[in-house]
Structure 1
Amino acid sequence: MAREFGVTLQSGADPASFARLAEDAGFDYLACGEHLAFHGPTTNAFVSLAFAAAATSRIKLVSAVTLLPLYQPVVAAKLAASLDVVSGERFTLGVGVGGEYPGEFEAAGVPVGQRGARTDEALDVVDRLLTGADSYSGPFTTFSGVTIAPRPSRRTPFWIAGRRPAALRRAARWGDAWLPYLRTPEQVAAGRAEIDAYARADGGPRWSGRTALFAFATVDRDGDRARAMAAERVGRTYQQDFAAFADKYLVAGTPGECVARLREYLAVGVDVVIFRIACPRREADTMLRLIADEVLPELR
């Protein structure tokens, strides 16, 4: 399968114009994450990607990620099916458990300690509803005589995010792809091997070994400026000092330096790279074009 590349919707950007920019620049995916509440503003992924879908015709759309335990699973299935249908079957449901900001779970009335179990059940519910089931009985969700319509003619892909063993088992069971983030190439290789082992033992029908790296990236002619900016922006997102981790976990530097780093990930089996451009909004469009013009051609 050919290598593919995507970019996340920039915070503060008009989703339609940014989606068109990404599509025109040759990216394969537009991604959008979400939080109910977080350290900075985030929109809802389903809403933003639907808006982007209406403004584009080719680029694929992925929620990276939907915090599935915060959703009633039948509602999540309806949203996923609707977005896949109205976008012309361009949508991929990226799923994470969250938990780094417990306050949003408390606000939603969901015990943060149940997020893993709720995610596992919700994936089962969504998958069944999107393939025609009309009933379910589980610890958190029970219904009968309910169908989702319209729904896509294909099986909506699931990308499963996470780094812990439970997330890797979840990827083996439910994932069309694994979505790692803040991992070194060596850690990605180890995670892929662990998922493959889980898949051989008790895997689901979706797992094919595909890996989509979520890469916090800052590309600039001045490599030192790029690394400092990346550390500052990601540190602000996660409320910690990232200066010591920039070279290890982030893709930051000149175009040539970023190409070299990304080749290390591609060498261990990464198939898709989703760039989370870590820079001020005023620089994002220019940086997107720099990635499209000087990074992607060296990697395709």
Structure 2
Amino acid sequence: MRVGVTLTVSADFTHIPAQAKRLEEAGFDLIASGEHVFFHAPVPNGLIALAAAGGATERIRLLSALTLLPTYPAALAAKQVATLDGVTNGRFEFGIGVGGEYPSELRACGLDPKDRGAYTDEALEVIQKLFTGERVEHSGRFVTIEGDRLLPPPVQRPGPPIWVGGRKPAAMRRAGRFADVWMPYLMTPEQVASSLASAREHAEAAGRKPADLAGAYFAWCNVGRDGDHARRAGIEMLSRAYNQDMGPVADRYLVLGSPDQVVERLSAYAAAGAETVIIATACPPDDADEVLDLLASDVLPALRNV
């Protein structure tokens, strides 16, 4: 099982290069960053955060988890992704989502929230064409490209791996059509298994091989020697971040507890088809170093055998 970790969420982004280097040295496979324009808590721009992480590292893969594609013009997103892939020597992986948890950020970026899914589908179609480096003609509902080329294209050919996140049927259809990796969140292992099967059916309907679509899981996680304390702290942190009580869904959707409990829970997601897990630390910023150390020492080695 591949294991990635998200950069710690904090109002101070100066920690990113040092933390990225530390995660690489600890042996994690990926560094991830989510993003919002506006949200209930401090959040960076994911592509810029990963550029900082990429400059401080040499080998570890870099995943946007997730880029909110409806907040970008399609051509600009393609340009930024191609540049990031170039400056990191082909280490970038492009995770996309449609957003919607904070609708005002979509309106502020010029898109009606109800159009976010349709826009994302069209934008992905255009971005994949632009990644070829060939001239693109496109006149659609949201995007117009007038025979222009994206130069230079991404280092990776035919482009960085595309991850699609979400939990709804539309996201599964989108993953089947466009994605290399399907990554849901806030699901049980059983739901991950069924959603991955559905996404692979959509891949087959789109003329692709079902096996071409890999499975992953985005896991909000807090780990501690005192498992009960880790659980309580994780629920408290996420309740603030999502502006709702996460306690009622904690045992179904979150990964909280002692190292053994976390390994057992993540192993269940692996058995459900998640070949990669992206761990988002659900802990206070002051506890982040301790949590990352425990993930590296007690969780990561155990998951290598899953």
* TM-fit CA distance, 1:206: 9.3
Task: Count matched residues.
Answer: 298
Residue pairs, 1:237-276, within 5 angstroms: 237-276=241-280
* TM-fit CA distance, 1:152: 2.3
* TM-fit CA distance, 1:207: 6.5
The corresponding residue for 1:181 is 185
The corresponding residue for 2:150 is 148
Change (3 A) 1:98 1:31: same
Query: 283, 287, 299: which one pairs with 1:283?
Result: 287
Residue pairs, 1:1-300, within 5 angstroms: 3-12=1-10, 13=13, 14-134=15-135, 135-153=137-155, 154=157, 155-204=159-208, 208-300=212-304
> CA-to-partner distance for each residue in 1:199-225, whole Å, 9 max, x for gaps?
122245797231121100000011111
* TM-fit CA distance, 1:145: 2.8
Supply the distance in 1 between the matched residues of 2:111 and 2:245 (Cα, whole angstroms). 29
- Farther-moved stretch of structure 1 (226-235 vs 60-69): 226-235
Conserved? CA contact 1:5–1:273, under 8 Å: yes
Conserved? CA contact 2:32–2:278, under 8 Å: yes
Say which SS state the counterpart of residue 212 (structure 2) adopts: coil
CA-atom RMSD in angstroms: 1.3
Q: Structure 1: any 5+ residue segments left out of the alignment? A: none
Supply the distance in 1 between the matched residues of 2:4 and 2:252 (Cα, whole angstroms). 21
- Farther-moved stretch of structure 1 (103-112 vs 194-203): 194-203
Conserved? CA contact 1:91–1:156, under 8 Å: yes
* TM-fit CA distance, 1:133: 3.3
Q: Structure 2: any 5+ residue segments left out of the alignment? A: none
> CA-to-partner distance for each residue in 1:233-285, whole Å, 9 max, x for gaps?
11111111111211111110000011111111111111101110011111111
Q: Give the % identical residues.
A: 48
- TM-score scaled to structure 1, two decimals? 0.96
Supply the distance in 2 between the matched residues of 1:49 and 1:15 (Cα, whole angstroms). 9
Conserved? CA contact 2:2–2:29, under 8 Å: yes
> CA-to-partner distance for each residue in 1:136-190, whole Å, 9 max, x for gaps?
2211111223111112242211000011110000000000000110010000001
Query: What amino acid maps onto 1:163 in structure 2?
Result: R
- TM-score scaled to structure 2, two decimals? 0.95
Conserved? CA contact 1:174–1:204, under 8 Å: no
Supply the distance in 2 between the matched residues of 1:289 and 1:203 (Cα, whole angstroms). 44
Supply the distance in 1 between the matched residues of 2:99 and 2:235 (Cα, whole angstroms). 22
Change (3 A) 1:280 1:203: farther
Change (3 A) 1:8 1:224: same
